[in-house]
């Protein structure tokens, strides 16, 4: 295996995470990432670019997203259609800049290179995104997390964003009990729960009753959910997280609520 391919494999989970959050869809995000990699590997100009490889890959991803933007319409399900209506109200480019900053922790200079925009525009776009996103949508949030301090912190972040936490659940049983009487607009869930429970299985049971509810997984084991195989999530935050990463993920996910 060539060194360049090994480097690409190292960054592939990050590309998938961003593409899924950007599109709100695991399948569509992975298609965009695949298109970006194919373009990257067949474009001599991109390969010779004098930039960090991760930045070049994300720029190829951003370009691929633009090339395939029509699929957000033609392949849209109900959730994607709602997201498109919300996106139409945002300042162009602001959501992408915010995701690249909060989720992927790129510098303003790197984001400018990725988005092919002047660096001096990026800070303004991020500020506008925070304002636009916070004013768009509020909802009812279920937090599934077995560490009390983490559950309290996540709940505080979500509440300060204007959402209502309908309950915090340390076990799958607790989560299902809350979901029986309180329909969530968004679920935030860890993977490993108390008493050996599985957040993934628990969420799967809840989604049988509320199939359009978006889910954000907050986990210390992101590699398990970024392989491109199986029923993986569109939104994923890695522990240890920053409050800004949680806010960003919640804002993106609520587009599809």
Same domain, 128 and 149: no
The pLDDT tens digits of the residues spanning 153-184 come to 999 999 999 999 999 999 999 999 999 999 99
Average pLDDT over residues 38-44: 80
Same domain, 219 and 154: yes
- Residues 174, 179, 145, 202: is their CA dihedral positive or negative? positive
Say what the pLDDT of residue 5 is. Answer: 76
Same domain, 92 and 143: no
Same domain, 123 and 149: no
- In the block, tokens 């210390």 appear at 220
Same domain, 112 and 157: no
Same domain, 184 and 71: no
> What domain range is 182 assigned to?
137-254
DSSP secondary-structure letter at 198?
B
Same domain, 130 and 150: no
Same domain, 128 and 144: no
Closest CA to 98 of 80, 114, 82, 76: 114
Domain boundary among 134, 153, 181: 134
Say what the pLDDT of residue 168 is. Answer: 97
Domain boundary among 102, 134, 166: 134
Taking CA atoms, 58 is separated from 35, 238, 243, in Å, by 12, 19, 23
Closest CA to 254 of 155, 154, 246: 246
Q: Residue 30 pLDDT more than 50?
A: yes
Q: Give the CATH number of the domain where residue 114 resides.
A: 1.20.140.160
Say what the pLDDT of residue 151 is. Answer: 97
Domain boundary among 134, 152, 170: 134
Say what the pLDDT of residue 88 is. Answer: 60
- pLDDT category of residue 2 using cuts at 50, 70 and 90: low
Average pLDDT over residues 33-61: 80
Say what the pLDDT of residue 199 is. Answer: 92
Lowest mean pLDDT, pick from 35-39, 58-62, 153-157: 35-39
The pLDDT tens digits of the residues spanning 180-211 come to 999 999 999 999 898 888 999 999 999 999 98
Q: Three-class SS of residue 255? A: coil
Q: Residue 72 pLDDT more than 50?
A: no
Average pLDDT over residues 79-93: 64
Residue 139 main-chain phi, psi, to 5 deg: -160, -175
DSSP lists the bridge partners of residue 168 as: 143
Q: Give the CATH number of the domain where residue 211 resides.
A: 3.40.50.2300
Say what the pLDDT of residue 97 is. Answer: 94
Same domain, 141 and 232: yes
The pLDDT tens digits of the residues spanning 9-23 come to 889 999 999 999 888
Mean pLDDT value across the chain: 85
Same domain, 123 and 153: no
Say what the pLDDT of residue 165 is. Answer: 97
Same domain, 156 and 248: yes
Average pLDDT over residues 110-139: 88
- pLDDT category of residue 73 using cuts at 50, 70 and 90: very low
Same domain, 93 and 28: yes
Total domains present in the chain: 2
């Amino acid at each position: 295996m060539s060194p360049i391919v090994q480097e690409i494999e190292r960054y592939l989970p990050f590309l998938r995470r961003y593409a899924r959050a950007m599109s709100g869809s695991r399948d569509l995000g992975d298609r965009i990432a695949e298109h970006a990699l194919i373009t990257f590997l067949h474009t001599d100009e991109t390969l010779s670019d004098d930039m960090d490889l991760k930045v070049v890959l994300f720029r190829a991803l951003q370009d691929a997203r633009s090339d395939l933007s029509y699929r957000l319409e033609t392949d849209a399900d109900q959730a994607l259609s709602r997201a498109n209506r919300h996106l139409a109200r945002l300042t162009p480019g602001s959501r992408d800049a915010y995701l690249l900053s909060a989720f992927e922790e790129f510098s303003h200079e790197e984001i400018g290179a990725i988005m092919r925009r002047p660096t001096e525009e990026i800070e303004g776009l991020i500020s506008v995104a925070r304002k636009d996103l916070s004013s768009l949508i509020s909802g009812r949030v279920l937090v599934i997390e077995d560490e009390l301090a983490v559950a309290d912190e996540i709940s505080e972040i979500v509440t300060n964003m204007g959402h209502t936490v309908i309950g915090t659940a340390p076990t799958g049983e607790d989560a299902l009990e809350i979901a029986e009487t309180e329909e969530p607009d968004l679920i935030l869930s860890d993977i490993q729960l108390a008493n050996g429970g599985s957040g993934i299985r628990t969420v799967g049971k809840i989604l049988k009753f509320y199939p359009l509810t978006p889910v954000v997984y907050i986990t210390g084991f992101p590699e398990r959910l970024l392989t491109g195989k199986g029923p993986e999530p569109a939104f994923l935050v890695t522990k240890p997280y920053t409050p800004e990463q949680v806010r960003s993920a919640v804002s993106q996910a609520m587009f599809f609520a």
